Every structure is written in structure tokens, then in C-alpha cells.
Chain A
Amino acid sequence: MEITVRETMEKKYAEQLLRGSEEKGLKDSIKNKIEREFGEKPKDFMVAVVTSAENYFPTDIAILNYLVNTREMKGVYVAMNKPYPTLVKILQNSNIDTDKLFFIDAISGNLGQDAGIDNCVFLSNPSAISELGMTVLNLCDEKKADFLLLDSLSTMIIYNDRLDSVRFAHYLITQLRKYGLAGVIMSLDKYKDPEAIKDISMFVDKVIYLK
């Protein structure tokens, strides 16, 4: 009886270790792919990254880790999925140097600059595409960044229609190119909105698919 219990516990422990290493393996594989894909790119690359829901956040972290920590680039992070306070905590816990990031929070709904936060601008709502466009332009003018990451096109399409979202993403890419910035447009798995991704793919230099 005792041996059976111990065998069961050891088996469970081994399974946990295996799951842990599978997750770690998965994260490493995303990290390696990002480094390989981004490593070849010139300074002003423009990419769309398409990933599944379950790999979305590890991919986001791997990209920031590479651009901010490894290449020491400064970035603008357009946050449409998580509000600034939550996002910053998560990024810091993932060892991303958030001092190198300026945030545009499109989800919290606090208009203007919060007096206590000097690295974030809050938009009125996620449908405020014009506000977002002006904010990005101002940041480009002030030379605050080397890259911009849009998190994400899929969320933008939830709050705005597809045409407006694609048009805006195109506008963003055009402005970034004018200012010599790199751009990363994040999107969920192609099956969510394949036509939007196909359209966007025509404006970028590469689409990176991470399943």
C-alpha cells in the first residue's frame, strides 16, 4: 500500500515536471523563434505577428525581451488588452525593463495624462482611433522610441470595424516608416479574422506565424 502511494506521488511529480518542462520548452521555442526572426531584421523592420490565444502572451513577452532587453531599444506599447497598471506589473515580473517603454493605454478609459504617471498616456476608449493616431504622431515627433508594438489588431477590430482597423494599422505603419521606427502589429491566430490579417500583411515586411 505504502509503495503504491509513493509510486503514485512520484508519477504525479514526474508528470508535473514534464508539464513544467513542456511549458518551459514551449517558451524557449517561442523565444528562439523570435530571436531568429527579429535578429535578421534591419532597425526599421515592420512585422505582423500572428499567434494563437494560448501563446499570445509568451510571444508578447519574448518580443519585448528581445527588443528592449537584448537590443536595448526604446518602445511605445499600445495597450488594448490589459490596462497600464496591470500590464506594467506583469512586464516587470517577466523582467522586462519597463523604463524603456512608453505606454498608450487605450483600455482604462482615463483621458489625458495621469498626474502621477509620466510614461503613460490614457486614451478615452478603445474606439478612439483618431486620439491614438495623434498620440502616436506626437510621440514620433518627440523621438521617444525606436519601435512601436500594437497589442493588438484583433482587439482593435472588436471595438472598431475591420475597415477602420486596417486603415488605422496602415496609417500607423506608414507613419512609423516615415520616422524610421520599427513596428510590431500583434494579432491573434489567423482564423479569428483572416481577411484583416491578409490585408495587413500587404503593408508589412514579414508576417511571423507562431502557432
Chain B
Amino acid sequence: MAKKILFVDDEEDIRMLVKRLLENMGYEVLLATNGREALDLLKKESVDLALLDFFMPGMSGRELAESIRKEPEIKDTKLAFLTVAEFGVIGKEELKKLGILDYIQKPFDNENLRKRIKKII
């Protein structure tokens, strides 16, 4: 059975592109446009990985990750960022505290994306 990835990004073009790429890699892909939608989806569907954008209106990727970690039924979800963000010293510590397994920077190389996701799931 194909592994399932939830991808959360407010930009439609990015969502469509990443969905296509991940499906070509053999994953089943669910999409969410924002943090609230992502939380609702995660409570209904079990995923192998939630791949989050950082910069999203309303709830940022960081807030979403914090919210996920606070919800008992989804707190152990594997998380990674797919983002333009570059993190400083504090950011990297915060990523560890939130249990973010990786962050892949946009613009990304397809092969690099494939390898990094394979490493996680």
C-alpha cells in the first residue's frame, strides 16, 4: 500500500506541483491550504508524513507543528518543512524541540526531495 503524505501550502501552484511530483514517486497525496484544514484532515486520516510550508496566512507552519504536537490523537505525526525559510540558531533548536525531522528548502531539486522524503518514510 502506498505511503500517504499530507502536503500543506497556501499557494495552489505549489500544491499542484508537489502533489504531481510526490504521486510520480509513488505516494498517495492529501492536500490542505492552511493550518486549520490540515489539523481537521489529520484527525480524520492517518498519514505517514505531514509536509508543511512555513509561511502561511493565519497559522504559520511553526504554529501548525505546535498544534499538532498538542493534539493527543495526532501528536506523533512525522513532520517536515518544505519551505523557503532558512533557520537561524534558535530556529534549528526549535525544529528539534518540535520533532521536525527535516526541512527541505524551496526551490527544491526533485531528486533531493525524493531522497529526503525516502529517508523519513
Stretch with Cβ within 8 A of B (4 or more), from A75-83, A114-122, A197-205: A197-205
- Of the listed stretches B13-21, B70-78, B86-94, B107-115, name the one at the interface; the rest are far from the partner chain: B86-94
Q: For this complex, into which size category does the number of interface residues on chain A fall?
A: 10 to 19
A198 to B87 alpha-carbon distance, docked (Å): 12
Contact B60 A166 (CB under 8 A): yes
Q: Are B87 and A202 in contact (CB under 8 A)?
A: yes
Closest B residue to A162 using CB positions:
B57
Which of chain A's residues 150-183 have a Cβ closer than 8 Å to chain B?
Answer: 161, 163, 166-167, 170, 173-174, 177
Number of chain B residues whose Cβ lies closer than 8 Å to a Cβ of chain A: 16
Q: Which of B56, B57, B63, B88 contacts A203 (CB 8 A)?
A: B88
Q: Are B55 and A203 in contact (CB under 8 A)?
A: no
Q: How far is the CA of A170 from the CA of B90 in the complex (A)?
A: 14
Say yes or no: is A140 at the interface (Cβ < 8 Å to chain B).
no
Per a CB cutoff under 8 Å, which of A46, A166, A201 touches B55? Answer: A166
Interface residues of B in 42-100 (CB under 8 A from A): 55-57, 60, 62-63, 84-91, 94-95
Known pairs A163-B55, A167-B55; A203 contacts B60 (CB<8 A) = no
Q: Which chain B residues lie closer than 8 Å to A161 at the CB level? A: 57
Are B90 and A204 closer than 8 Å at their CB atoms? yes
B residues near A177, Cβ cutoff 8 Å: 86
Report yes or no: A206 in contact with B90, Cβ–Cβ below 8 A. yes
| Across-interface contacts of A163 in B (CB, < 8 A) | 55-57, 60
CB neighbours (8 Å) of A206 from chain B are 89-90
A195 within 8 A of B: yes
Residue A49 lies at the interface, judged by CB distance under 8 Å to chain B: no
Which chain A residues numbered 189 to 211 have a C-beta less than 8 Å away from chain B? 195, 198-199, 201-207
Contacts A199-B60, A201-B91 supplied; 16 other A-B pairs, CB < 8 Å: A46-B88, A163-B60, A166-B55, A167-B55, A170-B84, A170-B86, A173-B86, A202-B85, A202-B88, A202-B91, A202-B95, A203-B87, A203-B91, A204-B89, A204-B90, A206-B89
Residues of chain A at the chain B interface (Cβ within 8 Å): 46, 161, 163, 166-167, 170, 173-174, 177, 195, 198-199, 201-207
11 contacts between A and B (CB under 8 A): A163-B55, A173-B88, A198-B63, A199-B60, A201-B94, A202-B87, A202-B90, A202-B94, A202-B95, A204-B89, A204-B91
Q: Using a CB–CB distance below 8 Å, which chain B residues touch chain A?
A: 55-57, 60, 62-63, 84-91, 94-95
